[in-house]
Amino acid sequence: MNVATEQPTVKQLIATMDDAWAPFHDAVRALPAQLLEQRLGENGWTRKQMLAHVAAWHDITVERLSGFHETGEPAPFLEDEDAVNARAARGAEGRTTGEVLLTLDESFRRLRREVARLSNEDAVAFDAWAARMIAGNSFGHYGEHLSDLIVRR
User: Which of 12-16, 34-38, 41-45, 110-114 has the lowest average pLDDT?
Assistant: 41-45
pLDDT confidence of 120, banded at 50, 70, 90? very high
Cα 111 to Cα 109: distance, rounded to the nearest angstrom = 5
pLDDT confidence of 150, banded at 50, 70, 90? confident
The full set of domains in the chain, from first to last, is: 10-149 (1.20.120.450)
pTM of the model: 0.93
